[in-house]
């Protein structure tokens, strides 16, 4: 096997991160520090959120969201099966039931018409996942939220800086959850954020983050804080915040470089006439992508796996994505269901390398070898 020449993903790290992490080590303040506050202020202003809190992961942000909406046993939450386990785990941890629904073929986002058919008196919320950084049909989902009186949660793990009708993803529903894991556009190590857009939750989210206490809500005259609800250790560390702030310092550069590479892939592969493969629809007049993933979708799993192996031999890392939750051994215990489009997408989807430091000659190498493979199927 040829040694990997082109990685699938590589964070862009420079002097900013080194300086800010150095500040933390020098100051010896590892929790509730200045960089956590700086990140919150920056993100809140940038995406026009009503309330941002840093968390130690997108997973914890989703768990907080379920606490905020008071999710209980026997409640149901509708979501895609083609997502990471955290989306469903957040629901299961409250004793509620995930209800899996199929996605659209062209963008791998929840099909809102199929979602509406699954809404019943037990439905407490819908979790939309903006796959690859491209928005779901938020107008339709907002109508469902209003019509049925349910909560709308955005799993925006892929979509920081993505937009729907000039509104940033993660700020449209009641609550948004972001990921800054090392595989995402911006890196904070193990880090995430929650956007509280329904202001009735603003006080409660602080109590949850303060382990169920009113520590951050008490005024200067009150001597002691008290236990007033359920909470846990969900906050990001100061080291993670310093790393993330270094990424935020070059946010525009990172996004522009990702967009440039994504557009080059798109310009090339949108011309594909081969019926054995197609690309995800990431362009829409109402939607601006976060440019998190560029994916090819092959006709079957054999072609997908052969392509990954072919590219690996050329020194290029390409990967498939989620194993659908409903197809897993554990998922079958929750809901036995056939989701046609989800299963087709799993069998065919492959992600190409996409990161800011990917050089032009490397992008050309990915394109060249992809075209070689496609010309022979």
Q: Which domain holds residue 270?
A: 251-374
Least confident of 19-28, 61-70, 276-285, 321-330: 276-285
Picking from 6-20, 71-85, 272-286, which range would have the lowest pLDDT averaged per residue?
Answer: 272-286
pLDDT at 1 over 80: no
Residue 68 is part of a domain; what is its CATH number? Answer: 3.40.640.10
State the CB neighbour count (10 A cutoff) for residue 297: 21
In a domain, 264, yes or no: yes
Token pair of 13 as six digits: 């790290």
- The residues near 266 (Cβ < 8 Å, ≥ 6 apart) are 279, 282, 283, 294
- By mean pLDDT, which of 219-233, 255-269, 287-301 is the weakest? 219-233
* E strand or H helix that includes residue 154: strand 151-156
At 50, the pLDDT band (50, 70, 90 cuts) reads very high
Structural element, H or E, at residue 92: helix 85-92
Residue 106 lies in a domain: yes
Asked if the structure places residue 338 within a domain, the reply is: yes
Percent of the chain with pLDDT over 90: 89
Whether the predicted pLDDT of 6 surpasses 90: yes
What's the Cα-to-Cα distance from 277 to each of 151, 274, 301, 351, rounded to whole Å? 37, 6, 11, 13
| Closest to 97 (Cα-Cα) out of 118, 122, 133 | 122
Whether the full predicted model's pTM is greater than 0.85, yes or no, is yes
Which tens digit of pLDDT belongs to each residue from 136-154? 999 999 999 999 999 999 9
Output the six-digit token pair for 150: 């349910």
One domain, residues 243 and 270: no
Same domain, 51 and 174: yes
Residue 59 lies in a domain: yes
Instruction: Judge if 84 and 49 occupy the same domain.
Output: yes
Residues 241 and 286 in one domain: no
Whole-number Å distance between alpha carbons of 174 and 4: 43
- Give pLDDT, residue 23: 94
Note the pLDDT of residue 218.
Answer: 81
Residues 32 and 75 both lie in one domain:
yes
With cut-offs at 50, 70 and 90, classify the pLDDT of residue 274.
confident
Handedness of CA 111, 116, 118, 122 (dihedral sign): positive
Query: 142 and 174 in contact (C-beta within 8 Å)?
Result: no
Mean pLDDT of the chain: 95
pLDDT at 302 over 90: yes
Residue 142 counted as domain residue: yes
- In this predicted structure, what is the pLDDT of residue 215? 87
Judged by average pLDDT, the poorest of 172-186, 233-247, 274-288 is 274-288
Domain boundary among 214, 248, 282: 248
Instruction: Flag whether pLDDT at 256 surpasses 70.
Output: yes
CA 74, 60, 346 angle in degrees (round to 5)? 75
Q: Into how many domains does the chain fold?
A: 2
262 and 140 co-located in one domain: no
Asked whether residue 57 falls in the same domain as residue 193, the answer is: yes
Please report, rounded to a whole number, the percentage of residues in the chain having pLDDT higher than 70. Answer: 97
Residue 259, burial from CB neighbour count under 10 angstroms (0-12, 13-18, 19+): middle
Q: Write out pLDDT tens, residues 337-363.
A: 999 999 999 999 999 999 999 999 999
Region 301-321: what's the mean pLDDT? 97
Average pLDDT on 105-126 reads 97
Q: Give the 3-state secondary structure of residue 280.
A: coil
Domain shared by 69 and 130, yes or no: yes
More confident residue, 250 or 215: 250
The pLDDT of residue 275 is above 90: no
Last residue of a domain, which of 248, 279, 299? 248
Pair (167, 316) in one structural domain? no
CATH code assigned at 335: 3.90.1150.10
Give domain status of residue 8, yes or no. no
Beta bridge partners of 100: 79
Q: Which of 230, 248, 266 is the last residue of a domain?
A: 248
Question: 5 in a domain, yes or no?
Answer: no
On whether both 260 and 140 belong to a single domain, the answer is: no
pLDDT digits (tens, 9 = 90+) for 20-42: 999 999 999 888 899 999 999 99
Chain centroid to CA 168: 13
Given this model, what pLDDT does residue 368 score? 97
- The verdict on 200 and 58 lying in the same domain is yes
Distance from C-alpha of 259 to C-alpha of 353, rounded to nearest angstrom: 13
Residue 59 shares a structural domain with residue 164: yes
- State the pLDDT confidence band at 217, using cuts at 50, 70 and 90: confident
Q: Are 75 and 153 in contact (CB under 8 A)?
A: no
Contact 156, 176 (CB under 8 A): yes
pLDDT digits (tens, 9 = 90+) for 72-102: 999 999 999 999 999 999 999 999 999 999 9
């Amino acid at each position: 096997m040829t040694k990997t020449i082109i990685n699938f993903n590589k964070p862009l790290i420079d002097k900013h991160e080194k300086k800010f992490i150095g500040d933390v080590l020098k100051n010896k303040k590892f929790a509730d520090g200045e960089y956590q506050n700086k990140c919150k202020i920056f993100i809140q202003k940038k995406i026009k959120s009503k309330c941002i809190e840093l968390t130690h992961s997108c997973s914890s942000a989703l768990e907080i969201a379920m606490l905020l909406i008071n999710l209980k046993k026997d409640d149901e939450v509708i979501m895609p099966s083609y997502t990471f386990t955290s989306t469903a785990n957040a629901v299961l941890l409250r004793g509620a039931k995930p209800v899996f629904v199929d996605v659209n073929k062209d963008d791998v986002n929840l099909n809102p018409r199929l979602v509406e058919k699954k809404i019943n008196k037990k439905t407490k919320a819908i979790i939309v996942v903006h796959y690859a950084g491209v928005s779901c049909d938020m107008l339709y989902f907002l109508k469902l939220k209003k019509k049925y009186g349910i909560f709308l949660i955005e799993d925006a793990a892929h979509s920081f800086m993505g937009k729907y009708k000039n509104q940033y993803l993660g700020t449209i529903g009641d609550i948004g959850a972001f990921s800054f894991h090392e595989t995402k556009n911006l890196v904070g190590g193990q880090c995430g954020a929650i956007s509280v857009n329904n202001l009735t939750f603003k006080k409660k989210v602080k109590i949850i983050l303060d382990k169920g206490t009113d520590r951050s809500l008490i005024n200067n005259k009150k001597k002691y804080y008290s236990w007033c609800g359920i909470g846990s250790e969900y906050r990001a560390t100061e080291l993670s915040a310093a790393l993330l702030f270094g990424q935020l310092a070059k946010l525009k550069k990172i996004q522009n470089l990702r967009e440039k590479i994504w557009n080059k892939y798109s310009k090339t592969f949108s011309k594909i006439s081969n019926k054995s493969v197609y690309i995800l629809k990431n362009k829409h007049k109402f939607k601006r992508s976060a440019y998190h993933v560029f994916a090819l979708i092959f006709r079957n799993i054999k072609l997908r796996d052969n392509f990954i192996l072919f590219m690996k031999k050329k020194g290029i890392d390409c990967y498939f994505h989620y194993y659908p939750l409903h197809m897993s051994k554990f998922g079958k215990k929750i809901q036995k269901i056939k989701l046609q489009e989800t299963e087709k997408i799993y069998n065919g989807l492959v992600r190409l390398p996409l990161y800011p430091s990917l050089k032009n000659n490397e992008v050309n190498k990915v394109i060249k070898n992809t075209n070689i493979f496609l010309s022979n199927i």
